[in-house]
Amino acid sequence: MAGKLTSETMRAQSLPVRGVKDDSREEFFYREDWLGEPWRKPDPVVLIHGNDESGVEWYAWVPRMAQEDRLIRPDLPGLGHSSVPRGFEYSLANLATFVTQVMDKAGVDSAHIVEAKTGGAVAMRFAADYPKRTRALVVVGGPASPLVIADPSPIPQRDRLGSNASKEMIAYWNTLFSGPDREGVKGLNKALSNFDLAKEGVLQRIAAPALVITADRSKMNSVEKVRAYQVQIPNSRLVVIRSDAYHIAAANADECVTQTLAFLKEQKA
């Protein structure tokens, strides 16, 4: 019993869980965060990042979310610290299966699935293909068809992070995108180049309760375009926040976390 309590206490203080060298790679890499009371058994939440990113990009979500839920933050194959599994072919179906393998490694049978940006297509495919492993789904600025940026700004990161982003935040994201993860970026681009989750019947197969969050002035997805696919998810609702960023999980993290926590609390009641 004492050993178990010690183990649980250590896990409750796990930020960061472990140090990782910049150039290290492993199959199905993920970070785990739980900052609540050590005697509680929190619900697991899997956070799926977008292209050209890694699980690190949920940094603004961890402080509040990890006090309520056990967070599993995978790096998608070829990005961050995840290597590309032998024989892996990039597709939304295979990326969804990759997430199940991360969950298996973490000892998680089912979880709430939360995504950011292009990770939304992976998350929605996951929820459709693995209904028993999906407790709830939260789509934060995610697309249901290939991305098109309307009237792109000449200012780096302006469309992604919005006009309120600080110089420091913009510099961070510029550095992030100069990273070496070209295989993963190319692979996700391939997986996201030709899909339509509505026409393919994926959205209609999602059984879990779902929350879709979008921005009112996103250049990636208009509110009308998002609503058109959201209504095809049977048990879903749409929340529109005020922002001109399309990566609202990063640019408007606090508001997105508030909406997500409230929604997940409903599902746990």
pLDDT tens track for 39-97: 999 999 999 999 989 999 999 999 999 999 999 999 999 999 999 999 999 999 999 99
Nearest Cα to Cα of residue 45 among 169, 172, 140: 140
| pTM: predicted TM-score of the whole model, two decimal places | 0.91
Residue 154, pLDDT above cutoff 90: no
Tell me the mean pLDDT in the region 247-259.
97
The 10 Å Cβ neighbour count of residue 180 is: 9
The per-residue pLDDT for 14 is 47
Distance CA 85, CA 248 (A): 30
Per DSSP bridges, beta strands 236-241 and 210-215 are: parallel
Q: Which residue has the higher pLDDT, 158 or 62?
A: 62
Confidence of residue 31 (pLDDT cuts 50, 70, 90): very high
Helix (H, G, I), strand (E, B) or coil at 97: helix
The DSSP 8-state label assigned to residue 221 in this structure reads: S
The per-residue pLDDT for 131 is 98
Cα angle 254, 257, 263; round to 5: 145
Percent pLDDT > 70 in the chain is: 91
Distance CA 126, CA 72 (A): 15
The per-residue pLDDT for 96 is 98
